[in-house]
């Protein structure tokens, strides 16, 4: 079959990585899967025109019920959808968006949720058919660049004022947009940095929202101990994660954070904001640490610094959790089975 997969394909983002991974799963079953960015289309009519090209597409997939799913409403071929996170957690609160997402779910042959909680929310607010929604956690794989140095990685910052090898780097990985709330712990971290200059917070990710990115950059210029650096390839990013002290998440909303799961897989502690999407994969004190306020973030980070047994436990349990619950092979089998139903 020839399948169209529509998603938000901002480079160096979790959505892009997920879309590429799902495409690989589909193509490994012998299908053709073409990726398209949702931002390239204004309406489902444009998507229908694309599907009519020769050779004809026989099915379609969309990641994110609203941003991509609405573009499939008028297409002439069967399709499936994959919940993105902000669709179920945020867009669902807007009546017009919720109406469109309900239509998408009704017409979709199947839907995929990353967690049981996402499926429950869809059932509660979107009147979805339970038998149509499958739960499949993200499959995780990591690959670390062989050569890595903090000096080179942080070349776009003034962190070099302190010898990079001595730093305790807290790495916050996110595309710069409001839902990721990258400044949530910035001020309190800066105060902590003032007490111990070796603790630094590095924010890394693409500038998805240009206006918001300018706000973040402006704020960080005035915040000691907090820095920004440009996005890197996945292999370089994984190498930085492997070398950092902890990976941080400060999002207002998450579907399933690939950065958190990748950190666990790499044996790196996670300090994540206590929101439903994070709490679904981070068990406090077992596979990672959750915090509920900026000051709580510092308190939990200090625990991680002072309690070596805690750190070792989080690393060990986090890696086991990912290996047991986020199998790439299981994810591949699920998508290949579901795509076969589009025939």
What pLDDT, in 10s, does the model give residues 98-127? 999 999 999 999 999 998 888 988 888 887
Q: How far apart are CA 93 and CA 284, in angstroms?
A: 28
One DSSP character per residue, 239-268 reads HHHHHSSEEEE--S--S--HHHHHHHHTT-
What pLDDT, in 10s, does the model give residues 272-299? 999 989 999 999 999 999 999 999 999 9
Mean pLDDT of 239-265: 94
Q: Rounded to whole angstroms, what are the CA distances from 138 to 14, 135, 154, 300? A: 11, 10, 30, 27
- Percent of the chain, pLDDT > 90? 70
What pLDDT, in 10s, does the model give residues 7-20? 988 766 777 888 99
Mean pLDDT of 139-149: 85
CATH class of this structure's domain 2-139+327-340:
alpha beta
Q: How far apart are CA 208 and CA 248, in angstroms?
A: 19
Mean pLDDT of 169-174: 95
Residue 124, number of CB atoms within 10 A of its CB: 10
> How does the average pLDDT of the chain come out, rounded?
90
What is the per-residue pLDDT for 17?
Answer: 83
150-325 adopts what CATH topology?
Answer: Rossmann fold (3.40.50)
The domain locations on the chain are: 2-139+327-340, 150-325
Query: Taking a C-beta distance cutoff of 8 angstroms, is the pair 278, 249 a contact?
Result: yes
Q: With a cut of 70, say whether residue 203 has pLDDT above it.
A: yes
């Amino acid at each position: 079959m020839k399948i169209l997969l529509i998603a938000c394909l901002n480079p160096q983002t979790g959505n892009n990585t997920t879309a590429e991974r799902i495409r690989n799963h589909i193509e490994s079953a012998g299908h053709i899967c073409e990726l398209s960015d949702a931002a390239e289309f204004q309406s489902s009519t444009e998507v229908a025109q694309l599907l009519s090209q020769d050779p004809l597409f026989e099915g379609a997939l969309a990641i994110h019920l609203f941003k991509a799913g609405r573009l499939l409403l008028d297409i002439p071929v069967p399709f499936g959808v994959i919940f993105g996170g902000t669709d179920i957690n945020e867009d669902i609160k807007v009546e017009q968006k919720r109406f469109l997402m309900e239509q998408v779910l009704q017409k979709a042959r199947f839907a995929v949720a990353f967690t049981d909680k996402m499926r429950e929310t869809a059932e509660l607010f979107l009147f979805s058919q339970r038998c149509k929604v499958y739960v499949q956690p993200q499959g995780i794989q990591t690959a670390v660049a062989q050569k890595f140095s903090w000096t080179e990685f942080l070349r776009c910052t003034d962190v070099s004022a302190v010898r990079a090898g001595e730093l305790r780097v807290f790495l916050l990985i996110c595309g710069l947009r409001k839902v990721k709330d990258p400044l949530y712990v910035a001020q309190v971290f800066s105060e902590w940095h003032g007490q111990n200059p070796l603790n630094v917070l590095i924010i890394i990710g693409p500038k998805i929202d240009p206006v918001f990115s300018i706000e973040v950059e402006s704020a960080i210029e005035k915040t000691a101990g907090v820095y920004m650096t440009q996005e890197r390839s996945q292999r370089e990013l994984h190498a930085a994660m492997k070398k950092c002290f902890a990976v941080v998440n400060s999002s207002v909303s998450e579907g399933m954070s690939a950065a958190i799961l990748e950190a666990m897989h790499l044996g790196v502690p996670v300090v994540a904001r206590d929101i439903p999407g994070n709490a679904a994969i981070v068990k406090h004190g077992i596979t990672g640490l959750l915090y509920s306020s900026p000051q709580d973030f510092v308190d939990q980070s200090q625990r991680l610094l002072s309690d070596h047994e805690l750190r070792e436990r989080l690393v060990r349990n986090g890696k086991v959790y990912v290996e047991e619950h986020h199998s790439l092979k299981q994810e591949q089998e699920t998508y290949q089975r579901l795509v076969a139903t589009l025939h």
